[in-house]
Structure 1
Amino acid sequence: MSKRDYYVVLGISRTATAEEIKKAYRKKAKEFHPDRNSDNPDAEAQFKEVNEAHEVLKDPDKRAAYDRYGHGAFEGGMGGGRGGHPGQGDFASAFSDVFDDLFGDFMGGGRGGSGRPRATRGSDLRYNLRVTLEEAFAGIQKTISVPTSVPCSECAGTGAESGAEPVTCPTCSGMGKVRAQQGFFTVERTCPTCQGAGQMVNNPCKSCSGAGRVEKERSLSVNIPAGVETGTRIRLAGEGEAGLRGGPSGDLYIFIDVKEHNLFQRDGVNLFCRVPVSIGTAALGGDIEVPTIDGGRSRVKVPAGSQSGRQMRLRSKGMPALRGSATGDMYIELAVETPVNLTSRQKEIMREFEDTSADNNPEGSSFFSKVKTFWESMKS
């Protein structure tokens, strides 16, 4: 069977530029790649035909010979030049090109096209900041010291002494990667000479040893908004580690940890305070004074006959919401105290009270009534 015209195979004109040839080849190679055409028995032959056409037309000498003599230029050794027969020799390299296009994005690789190394972004940093509950309530501005990397002032972040420009790495020609042939496949790895940067500094800056950044402790002013909780994260864009050789800086993340309070317990925007009251106040009723998180005081009326665990709500005396204008409530929980270290007179009064208060303990009466019913049911 006669061979098809290489220009027809790639679907291009005879005046196509090198870039147009390359673009057409990659499109056709993807279209006929065997891995994408498992149901097409002719795909492998078409794929090889596309590679053969590309091997000839991408080379100026081979293309000139083909334009003059056609397919006969490569028969019987005529015009073979560097590549010999177009269907042989560099198939693995051609397959590697297609492999890059098919899987380069997924693998995080690819040739990029420009050959210029990308600037390396600096790492993000984390800073753990503890604040008091009072600070979380009101909000506060704090100054923190963060050990980090900053651009070197001596070389302006280039890593080169006296402002000299970095040079292209001779090992990878600026690609940042090198390739090694292993059988049918081409393995790509980070260039060992420039560590993937694509450039080298022949005369490195003495201050930063060519890194373009130096270690330094910085002081930052951080605004802590009212309503923060443990686990709240604050992001300071561009305040992280400096990029390598002029790359952008990372971000600084501040993680908030709110200390436990000795008076208040927090649940979201609400606060809880356990307040002890005397047995006399709980029985007769009265007013008590309780603290609030803003440093103030509130008077609370205790109803007569209050029991331990009873809660009373103070509206809008809790924590502010981190987002929005809402404010939580404060809950007072009564803890009725049993008096200790009684005097003789006090004991006498308590005995008289006990003897005359059999009907004044509703919770106790209810409990023992249930106990009596339980015992009777067990007997029957």
Structure 2
Amino acid sequence: MSTKDFVEKDYYKVLGVPKDATEAEIKKAYRKLAREYHPDANKGDAKAEDRFKEISEANDILGDPKRRKEYDEARSLFGNGGFRPGPGGPGGTGSFNFDLGDLFGGAQGGGGAGAGGAGGFGGGLGDVFGGLFGRGGATRAQPRRGQDIESEVTLSFTEAVEGATVPLRMSSQAPCKACSGTGDRDGTPRVCPTCVGTGQVSRGGGGGFSLTDPCVECRGRGLIAQNPCETCKGSGRARSARTMQVRIPAGVSDNQRIRLRGKGAPGETGGPAGDLYVVVHVDAHPVFGRKGDNLTVTVPVTLPEAALGGEIKVPTLGGPPVTLKLPPGTPNGRTMRARGKGAVRKDGTHGDLLVTVEVTVPQELSDTARDALESYREATVGEDPRAELFKAAKGA
């Protein structure tokens, strides 16, 4: 912003107050407008952010008696269209008490009074322009993305397989409710004099390059509280707890990390919200297990069923049982597959249910069962299931 543009800018009009407004009236008008146009209340609205910056600039000048006096004198000197010479003639000084050379040097990078200049003024209007706008004019503080949040949730085995919506309570930094995110008890923060509202400061780097860092004075906000809010200590941010309903997709695995974009902490100065990362823990199931998209289950079968074969019913997760055909001579530990009875995949299809056979040996026998087994043993005399084992052991 040039010196001419700055002086011609009517800050009284910006705040909607008359030129003879009292300090209380100026403060009241600024507080009302600042709350209305604050970036945290108008996320993503660049026009509102520009308007807030303009309001802050106006308050920074009119809210300070010394700067207001210098501003009024500057407008009296320049008028509404350009320089108006004082009694001293075209290059005269008139009776103003600020240094016009400093004014141009600070705001435009010029070299003091020249033709039509006013080297005889005393005071510090140049400091107003130089401190508030710098040489190249201030830019608004850059939008800052909110922090990412990580939380944990524990699901039952069935919820993990089928998906579930669960309440999740989290805590994060958010705009302070007590001061509407301004950091100021009265909602009237001032532009930071260190970074002149940009939220950033430059420092020299190697090879002629300039490096930019967040302003330490205002912590990158571009504003400083005149009367720090007791809740947030002037930061404009406070710890806030909230509960939200989170949809966990079907087929999630134990310790899987799910990312929910834009569900993290709110951003600053119109910046986007961070992300929410949910780490899922899954409780064990008393019957079913899981291998990727497949579910697993161990099914006991009797000796006759394993030897003679037949049909067995197998439970499924959340559905009716399925019937599997058991081939004659099924060994212990054999795994069969029930297709489409597993966990839900990302594409909506299902994995399989892997059924492992466990042949049970009876601990107690009835007389009839004992006689039947004795008959079986007599019928298989001469068969030695360990013969091949000893043969292989000798040959090794």
Alignment of 1:282-321 (within 5 A): 282-321=306-345
Alignment of 1:54-93 (within 5 A): 60-61=110-111
Q: 1:211-256 deviations in whole A, cap 9, x for unaligned?
A: 2232222110111222222344433333212335665432212222
Residues 309, 327 of structure 2: 8 Å contact kept: yes
Q: In structure 2, what is the equivalent of residue 160 of structure 1?
A: 184
Residues 157, 244 of structure 1: 8 Å contact kept: no
Structure 1 residue 347, shift from structure 2 partner: 4.4
d(CA) in 1 for partners of 2:210, 2:172? 39
- After TM superposition, the runs of 4+ consecutive aligned structure 1 residues lying more than 6 A away are 184-189
Q: In structure 2, what is the equivalent of residue 353 of structure 1?
A: 376
User: Does residue 273 of structure 1 match 2:297?
Assistant: yes
Structure 1 residue 357, shift from structure 2 partner: 1.8
Q: In structure 1, what is the equivalent of residue 253 of structure 2?
A: 229
TM-score normalised over the length of structure 1? 0.60
Residues 171, 178 of structure 1: 8 Å contact kept: no
Structure 1 residue 345, shift from structure 2 partner: 6.0
Q: In structure 2, what is the equivalent of residue 133 of structure 1?
A: 157
Q: In structure 2, what is the equivalent of residue 368 of structure 1?
A: 387
d(CA) in 1 for partners of 2:316, 2:214? 61
Q: In structure 1, what is the equivalent of residue 16 of structure 2?
A: none
Q: 1:56-77 deviations in whole A, cap 9, x for unaligned?
A: xx96449x89xxxxxxxxxxxx
d(CA) in 1 for partners of 2:270, 2:178? 13
Residues 147/189 of structure 1: CA separation in 2 closer, same or farther (3 Å cut): closer
Structure 1, unaligned runs of 5 or more: 1-16, 18-57, 66-110
CA RMSD in angstroms, aligned pairs only: 3.7
Structure 2, unaligned runs of 5 or more: 3-107, 116-134
One-letter amino acid of the counterpart of residue 157, structure 1: G
**How many residues align structurally?**
269
Residues 178/156 of structure 1: CA separation in 2 closer, same or farther (3 Å cut): same
Q: Which moved more, 1:154-163 or 1:135-144?
A: 154-163
Structure 1 residue 281, shift from structure 2 partner: 1.6
Q: 1:52-111 deviations in whole A, cap 9, x for unaligned?
A: xxxxxx96449x89xxxxxxxxxxxxxxxxxxxxxxxxxxxxxxxxxxxxxxxxxxxxx9
d(CA) in 2 for partners of 1:284, 1:142? 48
Structure 1 residue 276, shift from structure 2 partner: 0.9
d(CA) in 1 for partners of 2:258, 2:377? 59
Q: In structure 2, what is the equivalent of residue 142 of structure 1?
A: 166
Match of 2:355 among 323, 328, 332: 332
User: Does residue 169 of structure 1 match 2:192?
Assistant: yes
Residues 137/216 of structure 1: CA separation in 2 closer, same or farther (3 Å cut): same
Q: 1:324-368 deviations in whole A, cap 9, x for unaligned?
A: 132111121111111213456654543442232247x7xx64x52
d(CA) in 2 for partners of 1:155, 1:255? 34
Residues 169/136 of structure 1: CA separation in 2 closer, same or farther (3 Å cut): same
Residues 259, 277 of structure 2: 8 Å contact kept: yes
Residues 343, 351 of structure 2: 8 Å contact kept: yes
Structure 1 residue 260, shift from structure 2 partner: 2.5
Q: Which moved more, 1:149-158 or 1:218-227?
A: 149-158
Residues 246/203 of structure 1: CA separation in 2 closer, same or farther (3 Å cut): farther
Structure 1 residue 179, shift from structure 2 partner: 5.3
One-letter amino acid of the counterpart of residue 162, structure 2: A
d(CA) in 2 for partners of 1:374, 1:235? 56
d(CA) in 2 for partners of 1:369, 1:240? 65
User: Does residue 204 of structure 1 match 2:223?
Assistant: no
Match of 1:151 among 138, 150, 175: 175
Residues 177, 196 of structure 1: 8 Å contact kept: no
d(CA) in 2 for partners of 1:266, 1:113? 63
Structure 1 residue 286, shift from structure 2 partner: 2.8
TM-score normalised over the length of structure 2? 0.58
One-letter amino acid of the counterpart of residue 228, structure 1: V
d(CA) in 1 for partners of 2:222, 2:279? 36
d(CA) in 2 for partners of 1:185, 1:270? 57
Residue aligned with 1:162, SS: coil
Quote the sequence identity (%).
35
Residues 157, 245 of structure 1: 8 Å contact kept: no
d(CA) in 2 for partners of 1:172, 1:373? 85
Residue aligned with 1:207, SS: coil
Structure 1 residue 199, shift from structure 2 partner: 2.7
Alignment of 1:229-268 (within 5 A): 229-244=253-268, 247-268=271-292
d(CA) in 1 for partners of 2:298, 2:381? 29
d(CA) in 2 for partners of 1:203, 1:373? 90
d(CA) in 1 for partners of 2:239, 2:232? 9
Residue aligned with 1:354, SS: helix
Residue aligned with 2:186, SS: helix
One-letter amino acid of the counterpart of residue 340, structure 1: Q
d(CA) in 2 for partners of 1:185, 1:224? 48
